[in-house]
């Protein structure tokens, strides 16, 4: 069972800055290729000799520890690369953190505010370890919060991101619908939010798609709708996250290679919970509602079948042409509920389609919205906080692809053209009524280690939304 009181104690210290009164922090010098020679001119002969004998040239990703007179580390050089190369990497200071010996460090020299904020956040994010099942040593190096950064805000962002990663990384055996609800409950308890879980007969009566998709799960792993609410002032924001705790594909079973990573199919839920944590910990002035349809897309007698025609909460019937297109089904009922009490902003986040991956790969979070101004706000916010997004089209001419004939809607159009777009169009039908809707088709997984982002679960879009929400208020 998910530990309720203190879900992730191990991450706290590495995800914080060093105490402000730590004595004698050592300097990290950010240097690009053009900065090295002038910097060396002001150094003593020993330092110049040490640096010249090394391969350090200030290239992005390079680092060099500087010894003091007694041989103990006294400072470090951080290669930040030439300006033209800086778009290639995010969170490069996170990469340096692993290379540094323990103790307290600080950033020396001037940095532009955005670069400084990115560096500070990259450092914190590099403190993340997933150690629920095996000991994982966190980095020993700590950083003084650089002058001018909003340290509590960055720490809240890092903690929210760590929650997202922990939830995704936890295998489905320990992260079923009940565990996801327990995690949401622990989060609600911590920040004084309200939590409601709908299951059983109430779920079947009010949310037929969620109940049907989750029907094949074993006892104890039954489907449920998790609802968290928090905040009394500001714009109303409803976040809907896909909580498919494992996606076998259902009777249209996924082949092994495609199923391997499907513990991450609750990545949308993990990301909206991480964002909720960021919102609550920074006390953002919003009225927050989080809705998570939590199910397991399993295989057993009660499983829904290809060809079944299912009722939905909102009314339209759905022909199931592939039981592996389950995410849009469970999200449809949750979005319908959300739209019954229209918020100022409705967002869905889901590991919804393989097509989105083919289109933009694991780094970019594709999003859909009809609100051009909000799309621009989101793009700018994503760029500012290094949470890259890319806008995709709600292409109305493809509406016909999701209209099968003997039901109102088709969950899996044949041919698979524009798979991410047709899934988004499907969701938009159920979000109708909300004045502003944005849908994110995220991947939620870092395929290989990158600075600040170890291989494994990763949040996408949450920081951009947190930033954009600030402008809504
Ligand atoms: N969870 C998957 C989508 C997915 C797969 C996301 C791999 C990230 C990585 C989703 O439920 C799914 O299986 N979608 C199908 C839909 C198709 C059957 C219409 C897909 O994308 O292939
Ligand atoms: Mn699926
Ligand atoms: Zn899925």
Give one DSSP letter per residue of 257-296, joined into a string. Answer: HHHTTGGGGGHHHHHHHHHHHHHHHTT-S-EEEEEEEEEE
The neighbour count for residue 367, using CB atoms within 10 Å, is: 27
Q: Cα angle at 110 between 109 and 113, to 5 degrees?
A: 140
User: What is the Å distance from ligand 1's center to 112 Cα?
Assistant: 41
Predicted local distance difference test score (pLDDT) of residue 9: 44
* Residues within 5 A (CB) of ion ligand 3: 244, 247, 265, 327
What is the average pLDDT score of the chain?
95
What is the percentage of the chain residues whose pLDDT exceeds 70? Answer: 97
Contact present, 402 and 409 (Cβ < 8 Å): yes
User: What tens digit of pLDDT does each residue of 289-321 get?
Assistant: 999 999 999 999 999 999 999 999 999 999 999
User: What is the Å distance from ligand 3's center to 325 Cα?
Assistant: 6
Pocket of ligand 1, candidates 353, 417, 446: which has the most ligand atoms within 8 Å of its Cβ, to mutate? 353
**How many angstroms separate the CA atoms of 245 and 357, rounded?**
19
For 420, the 3-state DSSP assignment is helix
Contact present, 258 and 248 (Cβ < 8 Å): no
Residue with tokens 């714009």, as numbered in its chain: 235
Q: How many CA atoms lie within 13 A of 70 on its CB side?
A: 3
Q: Whose CA is nearest to atom 7 of ligand 1?
A: 354
**How many angstroms separate the CA atoms of 324 and 423, rounded?**
12
User: What is the Å distance from ligand 2's center to 262 Cα?
Assistant: 9
Closest CA to 238 of 443, 439, 444: 439
Contact present, 184 and 228 (Cβ < 8 Å): yes
Closest CA to 62 of 78, 75, 38: 78
* Residue 416 CA, closest ligand 1 atom number: 19
Torsion of CA 212, 217, 220, 222, to 10 degrees: -20
Judged against a pLDDT cut of 90, whether residue 286 lies above it is answered with yes
Main-chain phi, psi angles of 107, to 5 degrees: -80, 125
**How many angstroms separate the CA atoms of 443 and 423, rounded?**
15
Residue with tokens 């400084």, as numbered in its chain: 116
Contacts of 427 (CB under 8 A, 6+ apart): 328, 331, 332, 335, 348, 439
* Residue 413 CA, closest ligand 1 atom number: 19
Judged against a pLDDT cut of 60, whether residue 413 lies above it is answered with yes
Note the pTM of the prediction, 2 decimals: 0.97
**How many angstroms separate the CA atoms of 117 and 363, rounded?**
20
Mean pLDDT over residues 403-426, rounded? Answer: 96
Predicted local distance difference test score (pLDDT) of residue 389: 98
Q: Which ligand is nearest to the CA of 423?
A: 1
Q: How many CA atoms lie within 13 A of 106 on its CB side?
A: 18
Judged against a pLDDT cut of 70, whether residue 382 lies above it is answered with yes
User: What tens digit of pLDDT does each residue of 39-95 get?
Assistant: 999 999 999 999 999 999 999 999 999 999 899 999 999 999 999 988 899 999 999
Confidence band for 391, pLDDT divided at 50, 70 and 90: very high
Closest CA to 33 of 49, 55, 48: 55
User: What tens digit of pLDDT does each residue of 212-251 get?
Assistant: 999 999 999 999 999 999 999 999 999 999 999 999 999 9
- For the annotated catalytic residues, the residue numbers are 254, 328
Predicted local distance difference test score (pLDDT) of residue 473: 64
Judged against a pLDDT cut of 70, whether residue 330 lies above it is answered with yes
Q: Whose CA is nearest to atom 16 of ligand 1?
A: 325
Q: Which residues lie with the beta carbon below 6 Å from any ligand 1 atom?
A: 247, 265, 322, 324-327, 351-355, 357, 412, 419, 443
Give helix 267-281 / helix 177-191 axis angle, nearest 10°.
10
Predicted local distance difference test score (pLDDT) of residue 405: 83
Pocket of ligand 1, candidates 250, 323, 354, 412: which has the most ligand atoms within 8 Å of its Cβ, to mutate? 354
Mean pLDDT over residues 264-275, rounded? Answer: 98
* Residue 242 CA, closest ligand 1 atom number: 1
Per-residue burial over 150-181, b if 16 or more Cβ lie within 10 Å, else e, is ebebbbbbbbbbbbbbbbbbbebeebbbbbbb
Torsion of CA 57, 58, 63, 66, to 10 degrees: 70
């Amino acid at each position: 069972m998910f530990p309720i009181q203190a879900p992730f104690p191990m991450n706290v210290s590495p995800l914080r800055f060093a105490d402000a009164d730590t004595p004698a922090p050592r300097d990290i010098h950010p240097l690009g290729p053009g900065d090295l020679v002038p910097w060396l001119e002001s150094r003593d002969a020993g330092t110049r000799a040490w640096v010249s004998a090394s391969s350090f040239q200030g290239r992005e990703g390079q680092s060099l520890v500087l010894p003091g007179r007694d041989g103990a580390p006294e400072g470090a050089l951080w290669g930040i690369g030439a300006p033209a190369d800086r778009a290639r990497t995010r969170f490069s200071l996170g990469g340096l953190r692993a290379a540094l010996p323990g103790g307290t460090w600080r950033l020396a020299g001037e940095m532009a505010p955005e670069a400084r904020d990115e560096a500070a956040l990259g450092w914190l994010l590099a403190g993340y370890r997933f150690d629920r099942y095996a000991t994982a040593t966190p980095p020993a190096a700590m950083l003084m919060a650089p002058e001018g950064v909003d340290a509590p805000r960055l720490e809240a962002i890092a903690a929210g991101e760590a929650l997202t990663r922990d939830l995704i990384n936890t295998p489905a055996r320990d992260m079923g619908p009940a565990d996801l609800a327990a995690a949401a409950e622990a989060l609600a308890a911590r920040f004084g939010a309200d939590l409601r879980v709908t299951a059983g007969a109430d779920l079947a009566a009010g949310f037929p798609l969620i109940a049907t998709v989750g029907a094949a799960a074993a006892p104890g792993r039954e489907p449920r709708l998790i609802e968290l609410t928090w905040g009394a002032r500001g714009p109303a924001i409803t976040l809907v996250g896909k909580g498919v705790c494992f996606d076998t594909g259902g009777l249209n079973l996924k082949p092994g290679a495609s199923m391997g990573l499907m513990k991450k199919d609750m990545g949308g839920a993990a990301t909206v919970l991480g964002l909720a944590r960021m919102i609550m910990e920074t006390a953002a002035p919003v009225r927050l509602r989080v809705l998570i349809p939590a199910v397991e897309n399993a295989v057993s007698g009660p499983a829904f079948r290809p060809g079944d025609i299912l009722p939905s909460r909102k009314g339209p019937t759905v022909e199931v042409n592939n039981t592996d297109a389950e995410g849009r089904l469970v999200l449809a009922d949750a979005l319908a509920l959300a739209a019954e009490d229209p918020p100022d902003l409705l967002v869905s986040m889901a590991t919804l389609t393989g097509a989105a991956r083919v289109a933009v790969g694991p780094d970019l979070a594709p999003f859909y919205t009809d609100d051009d101004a909000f799309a621009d706000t989101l793009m700018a916010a994503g760029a500012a906080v290094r949470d890259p997004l890319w806008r995709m089209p709600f292409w109305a001419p493809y509406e016909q692809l999701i209209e099968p004939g003997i039901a109102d809607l088709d969950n899996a159009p044949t041919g698979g053209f524009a798979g991410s777009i047709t899934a988004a169009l499907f969701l938009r039908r159920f979000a109708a009524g909300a004045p502003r809707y944005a849908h994110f088709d995220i991947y939620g997984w870092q395929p290989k280690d990158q600075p600040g982002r170890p291989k494994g679960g990763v949040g996408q879009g949450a920081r951009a939304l947190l930033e954009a929400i600030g402008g809504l208020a």
